Amino acid sequence: MRNLLKILIATFIFILPVEYKLLASDIYFVDYSKVMNESVAGKKAQDSLKNLLKSSNKKFNETAKKLKEEEKQIISQKNALSKEEYKKKADVLRKKVFNLNKERERSIKDIASKRKKAGDEMLKNLNPILGKYMKENNIAVVIDKKNVLMGDKKFEITSQIIEILNKEFKSINLN
């Protein structure tokens, strides 16, 4: 019985490290956010979304500025207008401000939706590339770098994946 126990312990001592090393060499990681930000398609999508956000913010800021001017004008006419007329103009202005805020929210939701769609499309096109790369390089598992606490740089394949992605996937349709 003692001999059997010694044989089992010796077996585990010698087999587990070998198995562990085999598993560790089959696990690689990719920095998905870097792929999204530095690939050709990802950069184009990010730039397009930034420009869309910038133009909508400019439009909303101009409209808000006009509404501020309108508010000042209504306030300056307060004593000259009857109470009913002043209230009517103030209500119209309030509606305009409410509609502006509603439109701004809608625009932000639309841009967020487009950003999510771009990420989904990037992932949809990235998965086959990763699958092919894994098969060609005998890789068992690829995980996102944000889920790696610590890892050797030689197991990071982000730059290789970006290179392949740039050749095969040029742009993301945001509409």
What secondary structure does DSSP assign to 10-39, as a single string?
Answer: HHHHHHHHHHHHHHHHTEEEE-HHHHHHHS
Global confidence as pTM: 0.71
Residue 172's pLDDT is 79
Residue 23's pLDDT is 53
Do residues 31 and 157 touch, judged by C-beta distance below 8 A?
no
- pLDDT class for 104, splitting at 50, 70, 90? very high
Cα dihedral value 172, 148, 141, 153, nearest 10: 90
**Closest Cα to residue 31, out of 168, 170, 165?**
165
Q: Give the number of other CB atoms < 10 A from CB of residue 39.
A: 24
Q: Where are the domains of the chain?
A: 25-168
Residue 55's pLDDT is 94
In angstroms, the CA 81 to CA 174 distance is: 50
Paired strand residues for 156: 29
Spatial neighbors of 33 by CB under 8 A, at least 6 apart, are 146
Mean local confidence (pLDDT), 90-105: 94
In terms of CATH architecture, what is 25-168? 2-Layer Sandwich (3.30)
- Amino acid symbol at 105: E
- Note the pLDDT tens digit of each residue in 10-41: 555 555 554 444 454 678 888 888 888 889 98
